[in-house]
């Protein structure tokens, strides 16, 4: 018997963007950690304007925002896929989920350290005036 391959039609570029934004929206509404990261990102943006950080400092902050948010979204995708494939408790599934969460934590810690390096001297300068 010959197997027929059914081609799924690809969504239009506009539809692809719509799906991507839907994913971000749902995650913002349902994932506590993503909401926390976005809140901190907004605080850093406000502080960036207050302390008039340089273009280079803005670029570093923007890159770190992207890394943290992207990894948080990927963490959710990985955890969701694992939950679908392995709804029962499984040590390897747990390891995959914990590792994914650990990746987010590492990038978040790096972002905090970089934030301290960028904003620490500026805050100290204001306090010591």
User: Residue ranges of the alpha helices (H) in the chain?
Assistant: 13-30, 32-50, 55-85, 91-127
Hey, what are 73's tokens? Answer: 């979204």
Q: Tell me the Ramachandran region of residue 52: left when phi exceeds 0, alpha when psi lies from -120 to 50, beta otherwise.
A: left
| Catalytic residue from among 31, 57, 72, 79 | 72
Is residue 72 annotated as part of the catalytic site, yes or no?
A: yes
Instruction: Answer whether 118's CB lies under 8 Å from 61's CB.
Output: yes
- Catalytic positions are 72
């Amino acid at each position: 018997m010959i197997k027929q391959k059914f081609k799924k039609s690809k969504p239009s570029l506009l539809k692809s963007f719509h799906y991507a934004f839907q994913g971000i929206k749902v995650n913002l509404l349902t994932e506590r950690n993503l909401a926390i990261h976005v809140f901190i990102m907004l605080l850093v943006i406000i502080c960036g304007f207050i302390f008039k950080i340089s273009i280079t400092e803005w670029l570093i902050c923007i890159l770190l925002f992207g890394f943290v948010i992207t990894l948080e979204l990927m963490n959710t995708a990985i955890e969701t896929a694992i939950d679908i494939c392995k709804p029962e408790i499984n040590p390897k599934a747990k390891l995959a989920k914990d590792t994914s969460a650990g990746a987010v934590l590492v990038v978040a810690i790096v972002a905090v350290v970089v934030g301290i390096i960028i904003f620490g001297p500026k805050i100290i300068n204001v306090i010591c005036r």
